[in-house]
Structure 1
Amino acid sequence: MVTKFIRFLPLIIASLVSFSSSFTPSDNYLLNCGSPSNTSIYSRLFLTDSTKPGSDFLSADRSISLKNQVPSPNSSTLYHTARVFTRSSGYRFNIKKNGTHLVRFHFSPFVSQGFDLTTANFSVLVNGNLILGGLHLNNTDTVLREYILKIDRTAVEIVFTPGNESGFGFVNAIELFSAPRDFIVDEGVKLLSADGSKVYKNLSSRVLETVTRINVGGPKVTPFNDTLWRTWIPDDDYLVLKSAARRVNTTHPPNYQTGGASRDIAPDSVYMTAQEMNRENPNFNARFNITWNFPVGSDCARYLVRLHFCDIVSRGLNLLYFNVYINGYLACEDLDLSTVYHALASPVYFDVIVDSGDSTVVQVSVGPSILSSTSAMNAILNGAEIMKILGHENSESSTKEKNIWIIVGLVVGFVGLCLILLALLLVMKCWKKKPKPRPAESVGWTPLRVNGGSSHSRMSEGTAYVSPGPNGYLAMRIPFADLQFATNNFDKSLIIGSGGFGMVYKGVLRDNTKVAVKRGVPGSRQGLPEFQTEITVLSKIRHRHLVSLVGYCEEQSEMILVYEYMEKGPLKKHLYSSGFPPLSWKQRLEICIGSARGLHYLHTGSAQGIIHRDIKSTNILLDENYVAKVADFGLSRSGPCLNETHVSTGVKGSFGYLDPEYFRRQQLTDKSDVYSFGVVLFEVLCARPAVDPLLAREQVNLAEWAMQWQKKGMLEQIIDPHLAGQIKPSSLKKFVETAEKCLADYGVDRPTMGDVLWNLEYALQLQETAQQREPSEGSSVDGPNSPTFGIVPQIPSSNIRADGERGNHNSDISTTDVFSQLMTNDGR
């Protein structure tokens, strides 16, 4: 503890120096709400809000002052009182100087005078604009909400509105003060999206809500040590791989330059600490990234990401070159901090705007540039702030409202025309002779012909086997007009999902076939490699447990993929999303078995095999009968050739599921999919996300957390409560042993997907019969450390086939039967 204090002593001294020259705002209102007296916090005087209606700040007599009779001895005196609003009411503040202001609301619920503040449900409006809607505090934790907004009036009115007639709102303290000049600027802010980057305009006129503020590589910074009285928290809990980063700090104050970052942008202690690449770790090669996942909401919002840099690691100019990535997009390439002001240790910051999509995190990564020399290969980050942009879609909604009647008129006319054309088509169809059906193809484990299309393709009979186009897949093309018809011109009400590629719509083709239509952002070619990979992979393969590609569209700058529709959606939603009945243990086992069959087919269906690279619960889809199918092949790669052990490639995948050996060595094998599948197995068992940054530090990563409980022999303590009393011990033991083996640190120690499949089928049989079969000589059923783990002799399941096509029973013997002879000692 003493060592840690001495280590950060220079930072503490620097913070005291910076505080002595603190910013003096033009407007500075600090209220101790509900208190009869003033109080001083961090050398700032919080005034009492007058209990006399209409005077000072209170706008009307619609409030009650409360006092906490049993305050926590460690709590701030600000939280010993509160102002309660039983009707819409609040405060009014006169403004001396228009411009950007900061507003902070302090909420710390307690019970007093018949009011339980944890049951409050209310909204907050500032000058008539809703900035905080439906706040409901279900515990006694203190909550601080900070907003940055532009004030262009002579007064600010803050109104607290109860959620219903019998409800109420409350607040413990309010801060309203002017921000420094150019705290939020409009020039040079970049918007990153799937269709590339562009300049974002009028940022200063938006309302920003602070989500998180991070001191990367350093200790917690309290409001006393910040000129704007902010709190900066350490980055430890947000690092995806802690061993990839190394803390660095300096005792020298930052070299501030005119026009650059100032102490009001971030305190000295932020710029005097950083995380850099841990190049001393022998498990990493020369090039790797440091990555942070910062949790945000799940409402597809837009965020301002402010990153702070100060080169405290270089010995000279032009030595440090690195790249910055946000949500996988390249935000800054070949960044050399010393060229900004031609000096070292000069603080700079960059503002970038991103959309979260369906992700619950904003991901920031830094890594070496191709310009980096071998000896100076490094990347750093000093600080990060994430701010949510409120109401960024208002202008778009306004434009749509103005044109609503034009759209209605066009739709009515279009529907009328369609009805006329449909009548003509029905008449013409009656005159035509029905074509003879083509006999069904026998589909096995070998890839389909590239030129042959897919049996799921909805093209006409005459185009099913035409000569391939430039890409060899002309037979699977679907006209854009057909997809407009199928999705009601991409009606937003038909959206069933979204991701990095674009939106996914539910559609119905002209032959009444239900499909899922994944549409890339129109005009963007950023997802072109994934688009082409998906077509390449899915046009060659077909299997009961792989989502089938119906077709694709590549016209009018569109990139659209059309799949068979999966009625029940992703597995993830059935594990820990509300509104779905919990899956039984048997259902979960069958889903895991189906997924394993699909992956086993990918790995072994051709000479090189196919490695998926993005196995996770959102990429396992369920049909109407809960049959599992593996989906999303945009990151797939061909496996190594016969004379190779791996494929050397850049790291792709999803955090929480990423094979650590692949991450360290950038050497991809099919065992990387096995690792990801092991995480899915624990996800199925425990019904929680692979990564949950909101949990305690030791629980954030599911794989690590589950393995800790497994080593203690107490894994049953963390399984899904809905499974209580359902799982037979022998079935659970085999399932957990299989998942544990999948998560081995090194791929050579992991089972193949064939081994995983056999063990899962065995776990299902144990569940249904609770009778363990005698193992073959030399095999091991219960020994996870045995070299023969995963080779379990058994009669193959009859209800799930490994051959490619559903309902195809033409083969005399299934691949399952073949593999049973190869994999058991009896078969040998």
Structure 2
Amino acid sequence: MESFTGYLLPFPQFPTRNKQLNLKNPILILFYLFIMMRNKQLDLKNPILILFYLFIMMFNQLAVAVSNDSPYSPQDNIAIDCGSSSGINKANDQRIWEGDIPSTYLLATNEASFNHEALNPPKGDSDRVPYQTARLSRSEFTYAIAVTPGQKFIRLHFYPDHYGDFDTSKAFFSVKTAHFTLLRNFSAFLTARALHRVGIMKEFLVNVEATNDLNIALTFTPTPSNSDSFAFVNGIEVVSMPTNLYYTEDAVNEGPKFVDRLPNLYTIKNDTAMEMVYRLNVGGTFIPASEDTGMFRSWDQDNDYLTISGFSRAPFENNHSLSFTNKTPAYTAPAEVYLSAASMGNITQTSINGYNLTWEFTVDSEFFFLVRLHFCEIEDAVKTVDGRVFYIFIANETAEYHADVISWSGGMYTPVYKDYVVFMPVTGVEKKSNLSVALQANPEKFRTAYLDAILNGVEIFKLNDSTGNLAGTNPDLLISQPTISPPNEPRKNGRTSIIVIVSAVASSVVLLSAVGFFIFRCGRKVYNSTAVEGTTKWGPFSFTTTKSTKTGGSSLPSDLCRYFSLAEIKAATNNFDDVFIIGRGGFGNVYKGHIDNGTTTVAIKRLKPESSQGAHEFKTEIEMLSKLRHVHLVSLIGYCNDNREMILVYEYMARGTLREHLYNGDNPPLSWKQRLQICIGAARGLHYLHTGAKHTIIHRDVKTTNILLDEKWEAKVSDFGLSRVGPTSMSKAHVSTVVKGSMGYLDPEYYRRQQLTEKSDVYSFGVVLCEVLCARQPLVRSVEKRQMNLAEWARSCYGNGTFDEIVDEHLRGKIAAECLRKYGEIAVSCMVDNGSERPSMNDVVWGLEFAMQLQQSAEDNVGVIGAFGEMKGEDDEISLLNGSQFSCSWEDMSKLKSSEESKTSSSEQSSDANNSNKGMSGIVFSEINYPKGR
């Protein structure tokens, strides 16, 4: 046995470390056997040893069955354990990390930097390398890392903790390399908190040109505007990648598909830097960096990003061998990615209803993103082209109409990936955007054998902007959030502790006594509001209000409005930090803020100081909203009028504006029933304005950006800066006023005659209904002339019986013909030229509820919503609302419900459902008849 062991010794002498020798290549094995025989290191007289080497060769040949190529061996594989003086450190995955003390990587000029151990290093099974030590500095420092030319991964590791006197909650810094800004004013503390992780890693991709200076210089710079700030880093990786794995090859006229843009291809050149923001093993488990294909990429599970709509996904795994290709080599992704997937299962035709598999990712706005989708057909039932064909939507735009994995890859168990580039604009709600990846089964049965979709993996990369910047914003910080506890002070002796405690108690007693006496003496005095800054008052609105008003409870009285001091507003927004901006408009910026010790999230609208018109609108909005309370009106919580600042505080609407969910946004399309329900809610809000208050209130700026959505998708009308009180006497039916409003929504009659009535709101709402149906702006100049004005186009199509022309493509095949006909009747009736012939908002609410009933009835009784059908019936005349009556009535709805009831197996269930539906309008009237209950 000793001689046998001796014969095995030559193998480790070959350059197998760092995977320079691929033992899975049988040709190389034979070559090394030949060398060993020539050097007499292999005894041919020993048959056991010969068989052993042949076994190794056969075993490795079998192991290669999952790939045509071997995994990648990076030419540069550098891992720096920053702040460590231990020399070589081995992580849990056996990867070797090199300490930077002493080190050739850290520039000698960085004498002001410090190394320190973490106060609370990772515990248990967590990897302590490289998170046990850190390099920290209050001044700029640089790592210069010598590398070979080519494309590289740069990974920066951060572990926010206490390092001696350095509290990482105060660390804000930037990181640059070459002309790229990787991070700017970055807070590892805030980022880790938002991700609910103790440590974080930021991965970047750059290209190193073959020049004289083959160094990657990483410069860390503390944010200069913060005197307490410093920079730190725990670990740095630099790893080579295969050429053009993510970049576009120069000689090939190919590139990622540019979604919804022309030209259709996008080139990712070598002068581009990227940041990896998401990398997921869809349908599978977490894959650690050590189990990647040689590039140390980690692959997360997709559970946290999958939005389930109607169907649960069906994850499955398969242990079949894979056939990699030249276009998709074995190093593209681990085999585990391609051997697990998510699909819906072969569903029925009647089950298709919108997106069945959707993943949503939060990304920074105003950047281009590379989205790589990994596919592999691993279900035995799908073996041929057209076996499974589906749609792919990225960022709410169609990326593929005919996705067919077998057609793309060439066969089963053959991996393939598809690249797409999308631009994520600012939507006006947050600096972050929602990038969605959605798969929908092809509803056209003749195009596919299986109504299904499949996805194996997702990678998303952010591309640098025109200035070389990759940095985004830090996550929100709740003002009341506690920071990491500071290090414990060394224990003093018992006597000293007792003295300190007694002194503290005595001091507290004296202080409390003084405060109590002061309050007793001053309790009856009323102070000017400017005397004590930082307090909240409640009182009727007045620009001259200076005295606080006592309230008897926490609820806001219907005729009062909360007054905020400027100090409170600054605390809620971190002194108007741009990080908290969620919208911009003519009025000014809108901030996301936190009041009442961080327990309540609010929207804070700050008037631009130079706005000449804003002061009047500011006063108008407070006067209007402070007296109005309705479930479908945005609530005004309070205002601030300190130091010439004019600020409004509203309830926070988590889902932003209706428009952002219709077009030019990054949200998945709303279903038809969602859109109907939102329209019903907005109509109820306007109906309340017109009839529920003491005097009619005319909004005057009804549009989709002024209809906001809360987290439950409840619609609320907002922005009352242009609102006017309607006629206050029976002798006048209108208010004469200067024309104001938004182009595309403006009532033509009001524009011509300058006479404002509530029917002007009705006209604008009719445009909103058309906008909701077709998901486009009211005015578009880039289309043919007849389609430029949405209102005119909709009326023309309705009159010609081609109303289905304007329907959003995402809704085609999903709207019942009768529902569409009724909806069109309502919308067009709202937009007739003569305002007196338009319906009231009460009638609009009734009509929309009836349309919802028609849709529900079609779905319940038929199960499949077919084509729209001809819009013309037996009578070709347009059925318009005349005065206050629709062509439908409650009697019609009762007949419809009776029909539904007769087709329901359980009469009791029918009765309950009908009672629920009848209550829909009853809510409106109960709120109007009993104003004290509002």
TM-score normalized by the length of structure 1: 0.51
**Amino acid of the structure 1 residue aligned with 2:94:** S
State the partner residue of 1:789. 919
Equivalent position to 1:254, from 322, 326, 347: 322
Q: Is 1:263 aligned to residue 336 of structure 2?
A: no
Q: 1:598 to 1:126 in 2, by over 3 A?
A: same
Please name the residue that 1:162 is paired with.
Answer: 222
Matching residue of 1:236 = 303
Secondary structure, counterpart of 2:229 in structure 1: coil
Aligned to 1:517: none
- Give the equivalent residue in structure 1 for 2:870: none
Letter of the 2:319 partner, please give it: T
Q: 2:168 aligns with which of 100, 117, 128?
A: 117
Q: CA deviation at 1:342?
A: 2.8
Deviations 1:523-570 (A, max 9, x none): xxxxxxxxxxxxxxxxxxxxxxxxxxxxxxxxxxxxxxxxxxxxxxx9
Do the aligned residues in 1 keep the contact of 2:374 with 2:417 (CA within 8 Å)? yes
- The answer to whether the 8 Å contact 1:307/1:383 transfers is yes
- Confirm or deny that 1:617 pairs with 2:714: no
CA contact (8 A) 2:118 2:163 kept: yes
Paired residues for 1:468-479 under 5 Å: none
- Distance, in Å, in 1 between the alignment partners of 2:198 and 2:915 is 46
Q: Please name the residue that 1:147 is paired with.
A: 204
Judge conservation of contact 2:80–2:97 (CA < 8 Å) in 1: yes
Q: Distance in 2 between matches of 1:785 and 1:346?
A: 56
CA deviations over 1:664-684 (Å, ceiling 9, x no partner) = 96658879x99xxxxxxxxxx
Shift of 1:303: 0.6
- Whether the 8 Å contact between 1:651 and 1:666 is mirrored in structure 2 is no
Opposite residue 169 of structure 1, the aligned amino acid is A
AA at the equivalent of 1:338: I
CA displacement at 1:616 relative to structure 2: 5.1
Q: Report if aligned partners of 2:324, 2:414 keep a CA contact under 8 Å in 1.
A: yes
Distance in structure 2 (CA, Å) of the matches to 1:743 and 1:79: 57
Would you say 1:71 and 2:121 are equivalent positions?
Answer: yes
In structure 1, C-alpha distance between the alignment counterparts of 2:635 and 2:78, rounded to whole Å: 46
Is this contact kept in 2: 1:302–1:354, CA < 8 A? yes
Kindly state the Cα deviation for residue 161 of structure 1 after the two structures are TM-superposed: 0.2
Aligned to 2:889: none
2:451 corresponds, among 377, 381, 391, to 377
Question: Would the aligned equivalents of 2:773 and 2:807 in 1 still touch at CA under 8 Å?
Answer: no
Which residue of the partner structure matches residue 78 of structure 2? 29
Displacement of 1:384 = 0.9
CA distance in 2, matches of 1:297, 1:218: 23
SS at match of 1:377: coil
CA distance in 2 between partners of 1:364 and 1:173 (Å)? 32
Q: What residue identity is the alignment partner of 1:380?
A: I
2:436 to 360, 363, 378: 363
Taking the aligned partners of 2:929 and 2:133, their CA distance within structure 1 comes to 68
Distance 1:178 1:617, change over 3 A: same
Determine which of 94, 98, 107 is the counterpart of 2:158: 107
Q: Counterparts of 1:299 and 1:575 in 2: how far apart (Å)?
A: 29
| Cα distance change on mapping 1:295 and 1:230 into 2, 3 Å | same
Partner AA of 2:773 in structure 1: S
* Deviation, structure 1 residue 158: 0.5
* Structure 1 residues 58 and 126, CA gap change in structure 2 (3 angstroms): farther
Deviation at 1:266, TM superposition (A): 1.2
What whole-Å deviation, never above 9, does each CA across 1:392-430 have from its counterpart, x for those lacking one?
Answer: 4669xxxxxxxxxxxxxxxxxxxxxxxxxxxxxxxxxxx
1:750-771 per-position Cα deviation (integer Å, ceiling 9, x unaligned): 9xxx9xxxxxxxxxxxxxxxxx
Q: Distance in 1 between matches of 2:852 and 2:96?
A: 55
Cross-structure match for 1:310: 376
Taking structure 1 as reference, are residues 185 and 594 closer, same or farther at Cα in structure 2, changes over 3 Å only? closer
Shift of 1:288: 5.2
Q: In the alignment, is residue 175 of structure 1 matched against residue 237 of structure 2?
A: yes
Question: Following TM superposition, by how much is the alpha carbon of 1:613 offset from its aligned partner in structure 2, in angstroms?
Answer: 14
Distance 1:104 1:211 in 2: 12
Equivalence for 2:247: 185
Gaps of 5+ in 1: 1-12, 396-491, 498-511, 515-569, 602-610, 654-661, 675-741, 755-781, 801-828
Q: Which amino acid in the other structure matches residue 378 of structure 1?
A: D
Distance 1:788 1:73 in 2: 60
Distance 1:278-1:91 versus aligned 2 partners, 3 A rule: same
Instruction: Name 2:111's counterpart in structure 1.
Output: 61
Match of 1:94 in 2: 146
1:390 aligns with 2:464: yes
Query: How far, CA to CA, are the matches of 1:23 and 1:298 in structure 2?
Result: 31
Give unmatched runs, 5+ long, in structure 2. 1-61, 428-432, 470-583, 590-611, 615-631, 641-645, 657-678, 690-702, 725-760, 775-793, 824-850, 860-884, 886-911
Q: CA deviation at 1:189?
A: 2.3
Match of 2:684, SS state, is helix
Quote how far apart the aligned CAs of 1:197 are: 4.9
> Post-superposition shift, 1:219?
1.6
Q: 1:129 deviation in Å?
A: 2.5
Distance of 1:178 and 1:331 partners within structure 2: 31
Q: Given the superposition, is the C-alpha separation of residues 574 and 271 from structure 1 closer, same or farther in structure 2, using an over 3 Å criterion?
A: farther
Secondary structure in 2 aligned to 1:622?
coil
Instruction: Give secondary structure in 2 for the equivalent of 1:306.
Output: strand
Task: Verify the 8 A CA contact 1:317 1:342 in the aligned structure 2.
Answer: no
CA distance in 1, matches of 2:173, 2:65: 39
1:350 and 1:15, CA in 2 relative to 1: closer, same or farther beyond 3 A? same
Matched, 1:348 2:420: no
Rounded Cα–Cα distance in structure 1 between residues aligned with 2:455 and 2:706: 28
Is residue 48 from structure 1 mapped to residue 99 from structure 2 by the alignment?
Answer: yes
* Identity across matched positions, percent: 20
Contact kept in structure 2, 1:123 and 1:163, CA below 8 Å: yes
Shift of 1:199: 2.0
Tell me which moved more, 246-255 or 104-113: 246-255
- Cα distance in 2 for partners of 1:21, 1:575 equals 63
The one-letter code matched in structure 1 to 2:373 is: L
After TM superposition, give the deviation of residue 626 of structure 1 in Å.
Answer: 6.8
Counterpart Cα distance in 2 of 1:93 and 1:334: 46
* 1:277-309 Cα distance to aligned partner (Å, 9 max, x none): 333479714x75434243233422211111111
* CA distance in structure 2 between the aligned counterparts of 1:345 and 1:17, rounded to whole angstroms: 9
Please list the CA deviations of residues 287-339 of structure 1 after superposition, one character each: whole Å capped at 9, or x if unmatched. 75434243233422211111111111244221232332212322223233323
Q: Which has the larger radius of gyration?
A: 2
SS of the aligned residue for 2:290 comes to helix
| Alignment TM-score, normalising by the size of structure 2 | 0.46
Provide the aligned C-alpha RMSD in A. Answer: 5.4
Q: Does residue 145 of structure 2 align to residue 81 of structure 1?
A: no
- Letter paired with 1:273: S
Alignment of 1:733-748 (within 5 A): 747=856
Match of 1:274 among 336, 341, 351: 341
Which string of whole-angstrom CA distances, capped at 9 and with x for unpartnered residues, describes residues 760-791 of structure 1?
A: xxxxxxxxxxxxxxxxxxxxxx9997675342
Instruction: Give the paired residue count.
Output: 499
- What residue in structure 1 maps to residue 185 of structure 2? 134
1:663–1:284 distance in 2 versus 1, CA, 3 Å:
farther
Q: Secondary structure at the match of 2:330?
A: coil
Question: C-alpha distance in 2, partners of 1:84/1:116?
Answer: 11
1:290 corresponds to: 356
Q: SS of 2:323's equivalent?
A: coil
User: In the TM superposition, what is the alpha-carbon distance from 1:21 to its structure 2 partner?
Assistant: 5.4
Paired residues of 1:18 and 1:267 also in contact (CA < 8 A): no
Work out the CA distance in 2 between the residues paired with 1:575 and 1:304.
Answer: 42
Map 1:649-798 → 2, pairs under 5 A: 667=816, 747=856, 788-790=918-920, 791=922, 797=928
Corresponding residue for residue 677 of structure 1: none
Q: In the alignment, which residue of structure 1 is the partner of 2:597?
A: none
**Partner of 1:47: helix, strand, or coil?**
strand
1:623 is displaced (CA, Å) by 3.3
